[in-house]
Structure formats: C-alpha cells, structure tokens
Amino acid sequence: MCDTFVALGSATIDGKVIFGKNSDRPYLEKQTIVYFPRKQYTDETVLKCTHISIPQVEETHAVLLSKPSWMWGAEMGANEKNVVIGNEAIFDTKEPLGPPSLIGMDLVRLALERSSTTIQAVHIICELLETYNQGGACAEDDPTLMYHNSFLIADSNEAWVLETAGKWWIAQQIKDGFRNISNSLSIRSEYTLAKEGIVDYVLDKDYCDNRGEFNFAKCFTKGFYQTPSRYSREGWGNYLLQLNSGNIGPKIMMEILRDHYGGICMHGAFRTTASQVSYLSRKNTIHWMTGSPHPCVSFFKPFVVPRQNQPIEIDIFSQRDNLNLLEKQAIIQELHSFEQELIQSIQNIIQTDNWLMKDIQTLTQEALKREYSLISA
C-alpha cells in the first residue's frame, strides 16, 4: 500500500512542482535513506538487481533513495537531474505476473540512475518491462507478496503517471494541476502513450467489447470495476489536493501525507515506513525525507543530492526502533516545530540568487543531530 502525489503549475503556491509519497510496507521492514554517487562502468559489467541480473549501462546518475534495506531497488527517490519517482503496488489486474524478474522498486532505481528527464524515465521503465517483465517477491519474509506496479514520475517541468499490467503499459502526461495514485489502476480513457497493440490485445482477450470502450483501468482490473469514490484512498487524496489547490507547497504536502481520515498515514500490520516530499525547481530542488515510520510522528529532514564520490547511508529507522513516538507528544511537537522552522529557513535561502548547496547540507546535518538527540534522550 502507498500513496503518491504531485502538484504543479497553478496548483502550487509558487508555480514549482511538489511531489510526495508515503511508502507503506510490512511493519518490521527497515527503510534507510541512501546516496549512491555517479559512476561509470565497463561494457561487461553485470548489475545484480533484487531477483535477476541485467547488463549495466555505461554511466549512472547520482541518486538519493529511500529504500527497504533488504532489496536492491527503492520505494522512492531522486537523482541529480531533479527527476523523482515513486511506485505503487497494483494487485487486482487480469494479467499474470511472470517468474522472478524485476520488481517495481528495481524499476524505480533503474530509471533514476539512467534518466535525465521524466519522459526518458518513462521510456526506460517501459523498455525494461518489455524486455524482462515484472515479477518476484516484494517482501523479504513473504514470498507470496507479489504485484504489478504503477509509477508517478516528476521533474521541475512536468509529471507522468505510468501504469502497468504484466508487460502492458500506459502513460499519462500532467502539465498542470495535480494528480495522485494509490493501489489501483487510475488511467482510464485519457492517455498520452501506450504500448503498441494494446487495444487489439484487450479486444482479443475480451477485456472490452469494442475500440470505443477502451478504458485501461476498466479493461485490466480483475473483478468488479468502479471509479473510486471520495472515501477511497485515491479519491480522498485527490480531494485533499483539490481542497488545497493553488496553495500546495512542502508544508501542505506533508500535511496530506499525515492524513488519517482517508488512511493515507497508515498504521497497522502494514504501516507507512517512510515518506518523501520534493520541491522541484531547475535551480533549487530540495527533498524532504523521514526515513522513519508514520509521518504523523516523524520529522521531515531536508536533503539535496550531494556531490561526492562515496555512498552514504542514514539509518534513522534503527535509532527509533525501541522508541514509541506515538506516546511521546513533547518530542513530536518539538520535532514538528523545528520542521516548520527549517521549511521557512530553506525558503528564505532559495529565494536568494547566490544560495549554496552547503547551506542546505548544514541544515541537514543540524536536523539529523537534533532528531538523534531527542530520540536518544
């Protein structure tokens, strides 16, 4: 379970692109914030993904990821070219999953490492999907947890929703306004790109009766299909975006990710194990990550994709493992108060023409120290 959001243009407070995602995963699964630098490879290099190996490309971009520690792939993240991606599990499609191959989290990381724009990321995921298919266990201790995937991809110019069923895919470009995806197919009759032959395929399979009725979500959804109501997670998330349209910035997106009424901030056997909000601009992109469960009690810390040659891993999850912040209201209030100070400080910094990456990195280190100090006391 996950929820992913994007707002751009007229929907945001300053015309920039705001991305947000909650990663909902098994309760005990650890998720860390990691950085991998840009790297070059030889033609013979083989890349070991979560379940299969594939040829490596000549050069990969630097990436900042929020990833389950046991797998190669990532739930969400960003690269040095200001591309961000989050994926969603899709369970109820008519297409069978293939044998163990690439999982959705592998496709997220592969696209971030290899793409410079949203449309390039779309093409990379689709090419990998058509070459290797998708399949395999998506949880460390549960080999039965397998699913298809949808993706929300954004950069400082636009966003795309890419949805899949087996090797079949469809994509929708978003140039203005807002969009969100949850754990069901959401592209219906309005789309920008699709796998060649998709309409003929659904007719041959009797997924729909005629060409005029082609609706990707309806055709590929198993069982009874209906448009999500406001009280589904997808519908409620869309309502929150609509309610805040014109004013959406990092603060509003964090509030949406903390919503309990619609189940966006998830508690239970599956819970929100990490969250990300990204402010995407050509000159001053900032990523806010929790690296810890439950955004309602977590602290969004600011990050930029660093320029250094060594990998970094930030493990906040383990630091909080024995601390039930749901019962520590004073700590929560202090962290959230500091979070608001950071949002304002960074807004002041990026409004200047001579802001430096080291200014944000200093605030990042201060934020991490503050969090570690409070949760260790």
* Separation of alpha carbons 123 and 114, rounded Å: 11
How many of the other CB atoms lie within 10 Å of CB of 333? 10
Contact between 2 and 89 under an 8 Å Cβ cutoff? The reply is yes
DSSP 286: E
- Which helix (H) or strand (E) segment holds residue 22: the answer is strand 15-26
The active-site residue, picked from 2, 49, 126, 219, is 2
* Active site annotation includes 2: yes
Return d(Cα 282, Cα 21) in angstroms, integer: 21
Amino acid at 245: S
Which region holds residue 136: left if phi is over 0, alpha if psi is between -120 and 50, else beta? Answer: left
- How would you list the strands of the sheet with 148-154, edge to edge? 193-194, 168-174, 159-165, 148-154, 84-90, 76-79, 63-68, 31-36, 312-314
**Residue positions annotated with a catalytic role:** 2
